[in-house]
A and B are shown apart, each in its own frame.
Chain A
């Protein structure tokens, strides 16, 4: 059991770190010129971070989760709707649990 004071201190620390990441990107760019190369780097990085989190999730889980992510990707490519992709992935995972286990 974590004592309450330490727990709240940890939560406050998490909030501060998160706020610094939210403000930091724009703040740093005040002192850096935005070249096309920087833009290329950042654009590739933005998509890469999300994809890396997904890849880590897939490796840490099973076939059901990997298939659900594949469904999300296919639906996104077909419809260009993130909402449709998420609904499809959830429905697929729920159906898998119901029918396969």
Chain B
């Protein structure tokens, strides 16, 4: 593998210390995943999933937005093809995150490469991506952060499944805006300057325009491609990696 990655191969690692660091850094953030997980547990039961189905989905899929999206399609018989496409569409951003972190992940041995990526989400990506750009290239941080999020996500789903009904209307607690608020904040955090805001604005417009005409989830893909294309015209000021 002879790429032009900015990271010298020797400088990346995957250590227990890195895993601990990722866990420590993401645990405070995962507190805010909790209401979202509770909301998912409640919604899954309301949709007709059994408690184990909702829990197993959170344990082995571990993708909040996609799990919510697929509930809209949960009917008998299950529309497997639509479900797979929606899963792919909503999760396509993992592809982008994985590509973005690849200069630091790909030099790792296969086993560490797999574990670095297996719990990849927006939150631990953002955390680790910041660290690797600052010169801390221990990819254990990505897995450790994912582990903290995964544990809290599963626990929150369990709470939603078994106790959610006792909470009553989730709107009372603002739980329903958790995902949108989190994504809005993360998106703003990825905009270093005004030029970088142009692709995001383009993406929002495309998402809204194509929403009524494309199958569920595909307006997100159209918007992402439009935003990426706009990024070629209006690139953010290139920042120097230390």
Measured CB to CB, the residues of A under 8 A from B are 1-4, 6-8, 10-15, 17-19, 21-30, 32-37, 39-60, 65, 68-69, 71-73, 75-77, 80, 82-83, 85-94, 97-98
Question: Could you say which of B3, B88, B182, B235 contacts A40, with CB atoms under 8 Å apart?
Answer: B235
**Given A14-B87, A15-B61, A47-B227; A55-B174 close (CB under 8 Å):** no
A interface majority secondary structure: helix
CA distance A94 to B83 in the complex (A): 32
Question: In whole Å, how far is A24's beta carbon from the nearest beta carbon of chain B?
Answer: 5
Q: Is B162 an interface residue when CB atoms closer than 8 A count as contact?
A: no
Contact across chains for B98 and A23 when beta carbons are under 8 A apart:
yes
Task: Say yes or no for B132: interface residue by CB 8 A criterion.
Answer: no
The B211-242 residues at the A interface (CB cut-off 8 A) are 211, 219-220, 223-232, 234-236, 238
Q: In the complex the two chains form, what is the Cα distance from A29 to B117 in whole Å?
A: 14
Interface size class, chain B: 35 or more
Partner of A47, one of B90, B178, B190: B190
- Number of A-B residue pairs having CB atoms within 8 Å of each other in the complex: 319
A37 to B232, CA, bound (A): 6
Q: Which residues of B contact A88 (CB under 8 A)?
A: 181
Do A22 and B94 contact each other (CB < 8 Å), given the known contacts A37-B232, A42-B228, A72-B180? yes
Asked if B187 and A51 make an inter-chain contact with CB atoms under 8 angstroms apart, the answer reads: yes
- Known contacts A52-B224, A80-B189, A90-B173: A72-B200 contact under CB 8 Å: no
The B74-123 residues at the A interface (CB cut-off 8 A) are 74-78, 80, 83-84, 87-88, 90-103, 105-106, 113-114, 117-120, 122
Q: Which of B60, B77, B122 has the most CB of A within 10 A?
A: B60
Annotate B1-43 by CB proximity to A: 1 below 8 A, 0 otherwise: 1011100000000000000000000001101100100000000
Task: Give chain A residues whose Cβ lies under 8 Å from the Cβ of B74.
Answer: 2
Which of A25, A37, A48, A75 interacts with B94 by CB under 8 Å?
A: A25
Q: Which residue of B lies closest to A48 (CB)?
A: B227
Residues of A within 8 A of B191 (CB): 47
In the complex, the answer to whether B180 meets A21 with C-beta atoms within 8 Å is no
Complex Cα–Cα for A33 and B206 (A): 29
Contacts of A18 in B (CB 8 A): 61-63, 66, 87, 91, 94
Instruction: Give residues 157-207 of B contacting A (CB, 8 Å).
Output: 169, 171-191, 196, 199-200, 202-207
